[in-house]
Amino acid sequence: MQDVSPERLRRFFYQTDQGYQISKAIRNLCVFARQNLIKDPPFSRMDLISCRNLMIYFGPMLQKKALPILHYALNRLGYLMLGRSESIGEFANLFTLIDKSSRIYSKKTSSSDLHFDGSGVL
């Protein structure tokens, strides 16, 4: 609340006994769903993907599989947010670093060769 302007609090939140809650109109703009990043076909045309502190639990093989999937899922002007101890590794061809301290990347345009079978991404 201390970092949100009074105008934004008024427009996008409502006050509860415990503090503030985001308005239903904003919640309806978001999709909340369980997804196996490696096995399920990715969502597409996402504006923002936040994977803070996810990649640290993946070994190098899963990271190499996950980052192209995340790139595919983002729209042309999409952003990827990683945790402070995470990076895109060898995928500088897919992402541009926007903010180093916050680990925010934007999608670079490239052709994506993701293919799916019944068990996940190939």
Top-confidence residue, 39 or 106: 106
| Same domain assignment for residues 65 and 100 | yes
Domain that residue 23 falls in? 1-30
Percent above pLDDT 70 for the chain: 90
| Same domain assignment for residues 97 and 43 | yes
Q: Which of 68, 64, 81 is nearest to 111 (CA)?
A: 68
Count of beta carbons in the 10 Å neighbourhood of residue 58: 17
| Same domain assignment for residues 6 and 26 | yes
| Same domain assignment for residues 82 and 45 | yes
pLDDT at 121 over 70: no
The dihedral formed by the CA atoms of 90, 93, 95 and 97, expressed in degrees to the nearest 10: 80
| Same domain assignment for residues 5 and 25 | yes
| Same domain assignment for residues 60 and 88 | yes
Q: What one-character DSSP code corresponds to residue 4?
A: S
| Same domain assignment for residues 25 and 72 | no
Coil, strand, or helix at residue 33?
coil
Average pLDDT over the chain, rounded to whole?
88
pTM for the full model?
0.73
pLDDT single digits (tens) 47-95: 999 989 999 999 999 999 999 999 999 999 999 999 999 999 999 999 9
Tokens for 75, please give them: 């729209």
| Same domain assignment for residues 58 and 85 | yes
* Residues comprising the chain, all counted: 122
> Is 46 within 8 Å of 73 (Cβ atoms)?
yes
> Is 97 within 8 Å of 89 (Cβ atoms)?
no
For the chain, the domain total comes to 2
Question: pLDDT value at position 75?
Answer: 93
